[in-house]
Copies of this chain bind each other. A is one copy, B any other.
């Protein structure tokens, strides 16, 4: 099928670009002896997870138990749930999958650890635990080496849990190289203090897992990091380009849309916040809800639920109802999450269609 036959809005992935993105990250990880554990929240598609494994990834990362269940049922058997599993119901589901696969969970509290221990030990299963360290993003994580060691000792004492190491997410790194270097120094100081404290207490942190696509190609600059969890790199998006972590040509995913109304310096496309998500642009002046590949002078100024509002006053192009455009979204992870299926294309031919099987697994 030719892409022009796809009804819009349609999420399409350029398979050649995707393959190149996958290879580049795998090569970087091999070069720096980093284990690659891609975060599959970006695509939520088992077939793509399998390709990542085939390309050298050691296992995968997910955020929710429901996503882990989907991936495990599709044959992925080494899964890090980079999210604190809290509550007896979720702990029971975790224990059930821990009987069938190598499961690791990241958490930052005794409450979460104790809950998992109770459920897992009841089944005689084992779950690996990473302690999340807050390196400045201020979302989750223990704050310092004292809290880290206290929690690690607690985990080591709980049945069914195996203390495995440390996870961090440097989500607060900006674009400025100088600022990034300075922040990295601070993160490394903290990582050093945690390592020293673990050594003093004879706690073995075998895994030091760093994350985030924007910092993915700098993971080798963080002390002792031996695992990385990039997500967005498989597709890239306007934000990844905006923070200079990819080039526009590295954006594998775009959304095909149709102009459904046009006139007086504006046009409306058939994709809005229920197609792209309303995630903002994280770079420059923060405006625009995606980049129109065919017309850089047009701006997606606003989104309604099902309309993208184009300001075309600075464009030479004459917009007509029925025109088709392709849009690189601000944030691919939340865009893919809006769709039940996405298309893989080679050149202008649709080669495959994938169901976004992990979508909607919010629990």
Contacts and interface: CB of A to CB of B under 8 A. Distances in A.
Interface of A: 7-10, 41, 63-64, 83-84, 86-87, 89-90, 108-109, 111-112, 115, 132, 138-143, 171, 258-264, 266, 268, 270-271, 273-275, 277-280, 304-307, 309, 320-322, 333-334, 337-340, 360, 362-363
Given A109-B262, A363-B9, A268 B140 contact: yes
A334 B273 contact: yes
A270 to B, nearest CB: 7
B360 A321 contact: no
A273 B279 contact: yes
22 contacts: A7-B90, A63-B305, A83-B260, A83-B306, A86-B258, A86-B270, A87-B258, A87-B322, A108-B261, A109-B321, A132-B261, A139-B304, A140-B307, A143-B264, A274-B334, A275-B362, A278-B278, A305-B334, A338-B360, A339-B360, A339-B362, A340-B360
Contacts of A271: 362
B322 A111 contact: yes
A176 B108 CA distance: 46
A261 B84 contact: yes
Contacts of A112: 260, 321
Contact of A87 (B7, B63, B274, B334): B7
Residue with the highest number of chain B CB atoms closer than 10 Å, among A84, A143, A307: A84
Given A9-B363, A322-B87, A337 B274 contact: yes
Contacts of A7: 87, 89-90, 363
Given A64-B306, A109-B321, A278-B334, 15 more contacts: A7-B89, A63-B305, A84-B260, A84-B321, A109-B262, A111-B320, A138-B266, A140-B260, A140-B261, A141-B261, A273-B279, A274-B334, A275-B362, A305-B334, A305-B337
A270 B260 CA distance: 37
A166 B142 CA distance: 59
Contacts of A339: 360, 362
Nearest to A301: B138
A309 B83 contact: no
Contact of A309 (B139, B141, B142, B360): B139
Contact of A143 (B86, B263, B321, B333): B263
Given A8-B363, A273-B334, A307 B261 contact: no
A131 to B, nearest CB: 12
